[in-house]
């Protein structure tokens, strides 16, 4: 039985990755940095490897006998110290790569982010020819871009590396939707430019499916956008998601430039006051969800044979079913 190693297995995407790998015949080992994470990955049926992304020797030992590493772990937030993002997203990726090579792993796939091509402008119908960005307003985007460069640069004979780039990962267990629902219920939710712009989504099942295809079929040194079929209008999509939870956002909206300016002012105040909590709005957040963003996943379809295994309709049906179960419980 083929063996795979997963970082971030106790998280939203990593947990789904473990399950799909097992369904496809892999024996899975998963990195766990805490007792709680160890319990979570063990409950999924994965073999626990104790350690974190900075512990290269622990990862190297755990990766022994594995054919592929799926590097899912990282620091995802719209606010925080650049050093924290760099340590998790860049140094963590570098050490995962070094551990994989030392362990004799032949394939390495990173779950990256489509945001790595984002600057301050709307982006439509992007493809992989767009240059990576390292914007000062978003440590998350900047460090994910650097990490992707490290993965692509590590590609070599006998060690095939690739990166997949999803957008708005959603599905059962998603943490973003509850945060939006909470903001709506607390009357703190505002649209930006009425939310009337196009956007791309990637169901978590499609993220994991595309990652496995990259491990199997990528020639190496390549990045791939991954998407659900079709695009959505951001406003309609958010309404659909939160209505499953029984809430309905109001029509209040502010212009993008106003949101951007307010976010910049709040970030300045938070920094000079050395506050540790998160501002109610940040420029990274405004850029990530406040402007149109669409791309083509034609490259993944042509090179990897990627076709979404979860339609948007099926994914929404699952969410509605789970919400019904939660209400009964």
Q: Which of 35, 32, 1 is nearest to 15 (CA)?
A: 32
DSSP tag of 277:
S
177 sits in which H/E element: helix 176-185
Cβ neighbours, 10 Å, residue 269:
11
Rg (alpha carbons) of the chain, rounded to whole number: 19
Distance (Å, whole) CA 286 – CA 195: 12
Coil, strand or helix: which one is 44?
Answer: coil
Contact 169, 208 (CB under 8 A): no
Q: Of 116, 240, 238, which Cα lies nearest the Cα of 167? A: 116
Q: What is the DSSP letter of 132?
A: P
**104 is written with which tokens?**
């004799």
Assess whether 140 carries a catalytic annotation: yes
Catalytic residue among 75, 140, 197, 306: 140
State the catalytic residues.
Answer: 140
């Amino acid at each position: 039985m083929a063996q795979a190693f997963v970082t971030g297995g106790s998280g939203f995407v990593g947990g789904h990755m473990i399950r799909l790998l097992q369904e496809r015949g892999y024996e899975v080992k998963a990195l766990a940095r805490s007792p709680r994470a160890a319990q979570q990955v063990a409950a999924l049926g994965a073999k626990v490897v104790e350690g974190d992304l900075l512990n290269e020797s622990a990862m190297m030992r755990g990766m022994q006998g594995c054919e592929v590493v799926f590097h899912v772990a990282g620091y995802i937030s719209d606010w925080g110290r650049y050093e924290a993002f760099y340590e998790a997203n860049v140094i963590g990726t570098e050490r995962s790569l070094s551990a994989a090579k030392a362990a004799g792993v032949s394939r390495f796939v990173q779950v990256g982010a489509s945001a790595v091509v984002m600057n301050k402008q709307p982006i439509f119908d992007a493809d992989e020819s767009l240059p990576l960005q390292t914007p000062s307003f978003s440590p998350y985007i900047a460090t994910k871009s650097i990490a992707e460069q490290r993965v692509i640069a590590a590609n070599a004979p006998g060690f095939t590396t690739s990166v997949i780039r999803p957008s708005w990962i959603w599905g059962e267990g998603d943490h973003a939707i509850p945060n939006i629902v909470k903001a709506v219920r607390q009357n703190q939710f505002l649209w930006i430019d009425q939310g009337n712009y196009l956007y791309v989504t990637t169901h978590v099942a499609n993220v994991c499916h595309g990652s496995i295809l990259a491990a199997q079929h990528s020639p190496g040194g390549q990045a791939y956008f991954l998407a659900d079929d079709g695009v959505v209008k951001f406003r309609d999509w958010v309404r659909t998601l939160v209505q499953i939870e029984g809430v309905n956002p109001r029509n209040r909206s502010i212009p993008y430039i106003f949101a951007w300016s307010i976010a910049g002012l709040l970030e300045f105040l938070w920094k000079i006051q050395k506050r540790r909590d998160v501002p109610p709005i940040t420029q990274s957040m405004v850029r990530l969800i406040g402007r149109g963003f669409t791309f083509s996943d034609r490259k993944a379809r042509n090179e990897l044979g990627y076709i979404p295994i979860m339609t948007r309709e099926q994914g929404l049906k699952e969410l509605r079913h789970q919400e019904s179960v939660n209400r009964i419980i």
